[in-house]
Structure 1
């Protein structure tokens, strides 16, 4: 790594030059750094806002899942079969599905060797279970904090290898030369940093973009508050998006942000809502369900069927998500789970459906209050909230319908390359999933993507970046654009956090699990106007708020692109699918719900198509193409061996 300084206007900007910069310090980013080092590319650096922040380190569930090829028992499995399962998620490219399946064991075992405690039986088999959208027992778990354990193990490797980590840096610009990576520009968040030293630049040949999902778009989010993403920065650099319409939303607690899936629902808690001031308690589920058996059974199933799934909205448990949405947005109320009280008086477990009754009977939990059942079935789930200051045996838990995972993102190929030369996207920021995905497949995708990007860089993109004189010439006008924006927003008042709160809440209301083209179009106009007049409409009075200015700008760009993708999907005849209900005046209405929940279920007419999205100077451009099928490769060993020996043939 080389170091120098350049001067741009009033700013003295340190510049670090190396072959590859890894942007982000979650499980995917850290894995990419470790793999690059192991493959021999050691001229690298990690750039992060805070290595202790982000989704990988600060999220989980009652049993966080890792998905990989089955490694136990007598049940047959194969790479091809796992690829087919991933491919069947709709709008998934088959070649990427095949790579994720083929490398799942190698990446999983790397984590095992680093000390992540995935459970084995006494014969050494890695015991699995079936997760959602999983025909085999491919799922495993190291507990509620699986991704944190992965991240901690990977960080230990990074520290042991002395890979440079630059903290307190917020990515604000991908620097380019035409359609090729030139470097990164970051805002320096170090406390007490002088104004002239507010920016830091990196000159590099490659960027591994591991910034996570665009969590900052939504107010109601299970992403940790430390995760906001930087997808907008990538769109501004011309990176193509893919499958942006496809998300997962589900019920989660507000403080702390945590999925209330699994046993949190299977213990049958009581749902209620209040006014904003906490008054007027109302157990709103009772107003919808016909009898106690239906209410209790649907609540139980919400644990199995945690993500909102429009297929389960009419007769399944996802109607509960809609009822929560109504309380939050149509009635402007707050929603809580009460684990101290049963949802029906004198609870009679025999009215449960067979699946729920048999599960609770087998678990020995046909007794008591919800918290007593939860303690019996999953005591750590209660302990988790107690460690965060909430005693479920004494107080209610506030929840919302939250954004949890973006199945789409930045378009990549089988080496996780984007359409910008030298820019690779790994982890949730990369679009390798479709409408549906097996639970835990995102953790596998992040590790596989990191492996592939690192392998390609170490084999085909070695060497030094541009010399400093060339870098300065290329980057100066791009840096001046950012410093100019920073100067214009300084005024004698501040509204940046107010705008962040408003835009995020509007996104949760009109473009999350419930979508209507008219409300989406209305909000697009607002976002477009705010972007166009950003420097005039956004103001701060303190330099410490500059971070929020760039987060707001990234959020607005992301919202604008995602909203237009949703609009385009509807205009092309797209119907309700996955975790999104699209209003259709010619559709069917669920029960006695308001008109806005009338919809047509997806007929899979677009399931073999991918929506590609590009932000341009004049708006958003779309391209629809067929999914790439799962490749039918020649499996004859001598042929593959010969090609493998011929340097570069696999790339």
Structure 2
């Protein structure tokens, strides 16, 4: 057994911000699935939103966030975040993090979809995540240790006290290990790899969400999956992300004949909220019409977007022609492990931050460039809270969570699961398709895999179990929400239903009821 004061599972922006903000006398251990630079945060091309321009205001940022989130947001949390955003950026900037500046040495502020003002701060043009991660890593002190390629697959609980006291993890050579701490933080990122078209890193398989669900944590808003409108698409596969900032600089979505597809669809046209743009592109694709991003209106494209330019050149796209073939793909999930603004869950000692968590800030659809911001904001809030706690003694008593062993790995191949999710629980959903997906997933024995011991499985097999569980959570929530809102679009219920659904959350929780069985879903009002 190994001991620490705080164990952080994951190594994205939220995790790194938390680690740096914790007091230097706190022993922090980061357990990361691959290494420190393989996650979505490091890949993030987009920037960070903050109301720092003359004429802008945190309240306008707040209103834009609510509008993009289809008013499903936790409004108080949004207000606190947008109010905190300028100081978060200023502290990073003054601390040595490089951000793009104009000729006067002021921050260069860009525009992205659904924002009413120029307020997007970038670093290296389209390498913001990379620069921010590198900066935060450079600030690590001796109290922080990192263990790469350690896959956490079970949360250890003292069930009598409803407390999480540690984790089980697996090493690349198959060894299992136990790590104990009074504070366990899930910061594993999202689940974009559940879909065949995605902008996400290979590590984003929803493992943290499934991990928490198996332990009895509440999950919320799992139906709200954001599909980024513009992924580079060649030969039937997505090849990488084309940042929304490209459209912010004037690029437009067109057919091969040059027809502008967003005209007349939304007042913001190509900068409409992501779910509207994605659904519009998807409608054309279903009819067999390929859509392109016309970059000819963007001056100095190669110098403005060096990462994207290199991506296109690598895959044989001639930027001089000005047309980049695109499709929508899964990009971000607004739902996750239900927490308060300090990252606390319904299990004592268990926290969640970043994309793995659901604070309610993003509502039904995340506003562009609010994800890195939320990770820094909540990561800092959790650090403040843990710093105020008295030194906790590590509890070594835990209850065996799962004892049943299943030796036959009867689960669908990952690629088959991804295609099924894209086809039946993707951008456009229907009752018929969701029922089909629910029935298909049910064939593989959800209850058995929720009860199963994973000790004997390899990391790839465990990852597939977690993908399967998280796919079920998304499908079930999408089936239950009988309206369209934000990232959740039901073709059979195409309109918002504010009377019944606007502030209502679908809560998933695995808990034992009186007859000894488990119930899996509740519907509750957001608070």
Do the two structures share a fold, i.e. TM-score over 0.5? yes
User: Contact 1:139–1:440 at 8 Å: present in 2 too?
Assistant: yes
1:392 — aligned with what? 318
1:551 — aligned with what? 463
Deviations 1:84-133 (A, max 9, x none): 54345311112322331233233223322343322344665434344333
Deviations 1:606-630 (A, max 9, x none): 32333333234534222321x44xx
1:567 deviation in Å?
1.4
Tell me how far apart the structure 2 counterparts of residues 267 and 554 of structure 1 sit (CA, whole Å): 38
User: Contact 1:55–1:224 at 8 Å: present in 2 too?
Assistant: yes
1:187 deviation in Å?
1.5
Tell me how far apart the structure 1 counterparts of residues 419 and 372 of structure 2 sit (CA, whole Å): 28
Query: Which residue, out of 251, 262, 273, partners 2:230?
Result: 251
What SS is found at the alignment partner of 1:443? helix
What SS is found at the alignment partner of 2:230? strand
2:368 matches 1:439: yes
1:24 — aligned with what? 10
Summarize the Cα distance change of 1:577–1:533 in structure 2 as closer, same or farther, 3 Å threshold: closer
Tell me how far apart the structure 1 counterparts of residues 326 and 221 of structure 2 sit (CA, whole Å): 28
1:211 — aligned with what? 188
1:289 — aligned with what? none
1:149 — aligned with what? 131
1:577 — aligned with what? 485
Deviations 1:621-640 (A, max 9, x none): 22321x44xxxxxxxxxxxx
1:209 deviation in Å?
1.1
Query: Which residue, out of 266, 271, 285, partners 1:324?
Result: 285
Moved more, 526-535 or 412-421: 526-535
What SS is found at the alignment partner of 2:144? coil
2:510 matches 1:615: yes
2:74 matches 1:93: yes
Deviations 1:149-182 (A, max 9, x none): 1111111222x44511011111211111112111
What SS is found at the alignment partner of 2:318? coil
1:41 deviation in Å?
4.6
Summarize the Cα distance change of 1:602–1:461 in structure 2 as closer, same or farther, 3 Å threshold: farther
What SS is found at the alignment partner of 1:439? coil
User: Contact 1:241–1:614 at 8 Å: present in 2 too?
Assistant: yes
1:233 — aligned with what? 211
Deviations 1:523-579 (A, max 9, x none): 1122123134867xx9xxxx9x82221111111111112211111112xxxx22223
Summarize the Cα distance change of 1:561–1:533 in structure 2 as closer, same or farther, 3 Å threshold: closer
1:77 deviation in Å?
2.0
Summarize the Cα distance change of 1:325–1:211 in structure 2 as closer, same or farther, 3 Å threshold: farther
User: Contact 1:133–1:436 at 8 Å: present in 2 too?
Assistant: no
Deviations 1:332-373 (A, max 9, x none): xxx86678xx9xxxxxxxxxxxxx9xx94xx67xxxxxxxx9
Query: Which residue, out of 501, 511, 514, partners 2:415?
Result: 501
Summarize the Cα distance change of 1:461–1:512 in structure 2 as closer, same or farther, 3 Å threshold: farther
User: Contact 1:186–1:199 at 8 Å: present in 2 too?
Assistant: yes
1:248 deviation in Å?
1.2
What SS is found at the alignment partner of 2:481? helix
Summarize the Cα distance change of 1:102–1:460 in structure 2 as closer, same or farther, 3 Å threshold: farther
Task: State the TM-score, normalizing by the size of structure 1.
Answer: 0.69
2:114 — aligned with what? 133
2:514 — aligned with what? none
User: Contact 1:24–1:46 at 8 Å: present in 2 too?
Assistant: yes
| Unaligned ranges ≥5, structure 1 | 1-14, 272-282, 287-291, 328-334, 343-355, 365-372, 585-598, 629-651
1:259 deviation in Å?
3.0
User: Contact 1:426–1:449 at 8 Å: present in 2 too?
Assistant: yes
Tell me how far apart the structure 2 counterparts of residues 72 and 264 of structure 1 sit (CA, whole Å): 20
Query: Which residue, out of 515, 531, 537, partners 2:445?
Result: 531
What SS is found at the alignment partner of 1:478? coil
User: Contact 1:55–1:227 at 8 Å: present in 2 too?
Assistant: yes
The count of corresponding residues between Structure 1 and Structure 2 is: 500
The structure with the largest alpha-carbon Rg is: 1
Query: Which residue, out of 488, 501, 514, partners 2:428?
Result: 514
Deviations 1:431-454 (A, max 9, x none): 131023331111110001100111
Higher percent of residues as helix = 1
What SS is found at the alignment partner of 1:463? coil
Deviations 1:444-476 (A, max 9, x none): 10001100111111112532312xxx34xx25x
1:53 — aligned with what? 38
What is the CA RMSD across the aligned residues, in angstroms? 3.5
1:457 — aligned with what? 386
1:427 deviation in Å?
0.7
1:72 deviation in Å?
3.1
Residues 245-394 of structure 1 mapped to structure 2, 5 A cutoff: 245-249=223-227, 250-253=229-232, 254-259=237-242, 261-263=244-246, 293-294=259-260, 303-305=270-272, 307-309=274-276, 318-325=279-286, 327=288, 360=297, 381-386=308-313, 388-393=314-319
User: Contact 2:190–2:332 at 8 Å: present in 1 too?
Assistant: yes
1:581 deviation in Å?
2.5
1:376 deviation in Å?
9.1
User: Contact 2:505–2:524 at 8 Å: present in 1 too?
Assistant: yes
Deviations 1:249-304 (A, max 9, x none): 12312453213645479556875xxxxxxxxxxx6xx6xxxxx6555958998753
